[in-house]
Structure 1
């Protein structure tokens, strides 16, 4: 009872502090991949280790969130590339991942930079906050008291950043796979081996000690800065916060790329993905050949 009263008092007492707040938060993002599910038992432990190491730069990243009481911008920290690595894998991963994300809470607007297979887009959309359920759970993250909130996120079917290997041991998924691929084998169409979940659980830990309704990426809508997020296989954890910094990146709306709505962008991704699948089938899959124009 005392703990609940303390949390409520903390929530109420910091509301007035939201005026003239600014800060910069550093987040470490890590996504796990179940290598065993992709190898069908044929991949050696050494091979799994090599692939995991190549994927590390795409699955472990550092981001900077610069924020004030109504605006924020979330960007990946700039770093020198350590070699080319797997260019094909990198291009694929980056094409389905967001670039800089700018939010203006006062206008309920989010602007998101995307580079999709070499072309720049600027998605102009409204902020869609989850229907959060704030729990009674709390813990310290660094020097801040954080409160747990949970919600469910609807996933766009073309968001391959959340793709996973289809569970073919499940009879229901077997039928779904058969219908969706028109009996195409994995060799003819490797994308028949993966699926995107319809929704994923999201767990957030926010601190009312920093009373801004934002957080990493698209997430926000809670009465305090989000310090930790768990979304599907990805964990995003705040490692450093500097409040009211003397020097910080200016928060400006991005302007790079062709401006499109979220619906228009999703349609572009869907059409390109279907084109890739069709070219793969016509080109004989792994057997090579067949780079077709278009």
Structure 2
């Protein structure tokens, strides 16, 4: 009975709210990093240096511009600190794992992501994935908004940076020199072999009926209110500010620039490029590192 009353109230509120409007929500995203790389032991100083270098990838601020049926989700622009921008293979690959500008239309069931990879623009277009949300009945306050809890199991994309974790294995100190050597060769040939990505993860969302639209950060949507917080594996996305009907409204429209591909096609392009670049860098290292034929 409580659920029926809640949905009835929601329908009435939605009809009143359905007038032309626009909002802007700011989200802070933070991903924790597993420092146990294949069982290798690192000092606290080494861990601290790696975390500092990775901070720009692990902590981000995003802006969600939303209307009743569509939204654009993009990273807040910021100027890199001196010495923070680095060239090389790692920096070039970072763009493929970073989220591009996302557009989603819940009415049409479409999600599009505009990304640039190795100087080429891509427009990744797919059907909007639908999660089977389970209403948990718990509530909590986020800022001035009363939020309700929902959970769902989500299939993980094979190149989802936030869900990657080092593949578990024996500790380095338990391995022979030959085993360590073979591990290094395998990692050089296929860097993704050292990474484990779960098939699916549990997602916890907190949404508010005060803004009754089925939108949220990134690819998340499908609840009877704006999603203000998402917890998925080691990433938490939390809304820090909402502005309704801002004075300067952003244009919410489908992106058009870039070669149109599906997510599966884009992932294949990235993996092929990774192999190509890894071969090139390994070749250079081989000539300089072994001093002869390898």
CA distance in 2, matches of 1:34, 1:216: 24
Shift of 1:250: 1.6
Matching residue of 1:292: none
Structure 2 residues without counterparts, runs of 5 or longer? 172-178
TM-score (norm 1): 0.83
The verdict on how the C-alpha distance between 1:80 and 1:39 changes in structure 2, with shifts beyond 3 A counting, is farther
Alignment of 1:5-84 (within 5 A): 11-20=10-19, 21-37=21-37, 40-41=40-41, 43-84=42-83
Shift of 1:56: 0.8
The two structures, once aligned, show a CA RMSD in angstroms of: 2.9
Shift of 1:116: 2.2
Note the alpha carbon deviations across 1:161-188, whole angstroms, 9 max, x for none.
Answer: 4221001159xxxxxxx9xx99953355
The verdict on how the C-alpha distance between 1:286 and 1:126 changes in structure 2, with shifts beyond 3 A counting, is farther
Alignment of 1:199-218 (within 5 A): 199-218=200-219
CA distance in 1, matches of 2:219, 2:138: 23
Secondary structure class of the residue paired with 2:55:
helix
Note the alpha carbon deviations across 1:247-281, whole angstroms, 9 max, x for none.
Answer: 22121222222111223222222322343455566
Alignment of 1:84-233 (within 5 A): 84-85=83-84, 87=86, 88=88, 89-169=90-170, 184-186=185-187, 189-233=190-234
Note the alpha carbon deviations across 1:132-176, whole angstroms, 9 max, x for none.
Answer: 111101111111111111111111223344221001159xxxxxx
CA distance in 1, matches of 2:159, 2:287: 23
Answer whether contact 1:207 1:225 (CA < 8 A) is retained: yes
Note the alpha carbon deviations across 1:30-89, whole angstroms, 9 max, x for none.
Answer: 111022446711x22112112211111111111110101011101111111112426244
Which has the higher mean CA deviation after the structures are superposed, 101-110 or 151-160? Answer: 151-160
The verdict on how the C-alpha distance between 1:10 and 1:93 changes in structure 2, with shifts beyond 3 A counting, is farther
Residue 232 of structure 2 is aligned to residue 237 of structure 1: no
CA distance in 2, matches of 1:115, 1:16: 39
CA distance in 1, matches of 2:133, 2:217: 16
CA distance in 2, matches of 1:96, 1:127: 19
Matching residue of 1:269: 270
Secondary structure class of the residue paired with 2:146:
strand
The verdict on how the C-alpha distance between 1:193 and 1:199 changes in structure 2, with shifts beyond 3 A counting, is same
CA distance in 2, matches of 1:230, 1:54: 23
Shift of 1:211: 0.8
CA distance in 2, matches of 1:285, 1:207: 56
TM-score (norm 2): 0.83
Aligned residues: 278
The verdict on how the C-alpha distance between 1:283 and 1:198 changes in structure 2, with shifts beyond 3 A counting, is farther
Answer whether contact 2:162 2:234 (CA < 8 A) is retained: no
Structure 1 residues without counterparts, runs of 5 or longer? 171-177, 290-294
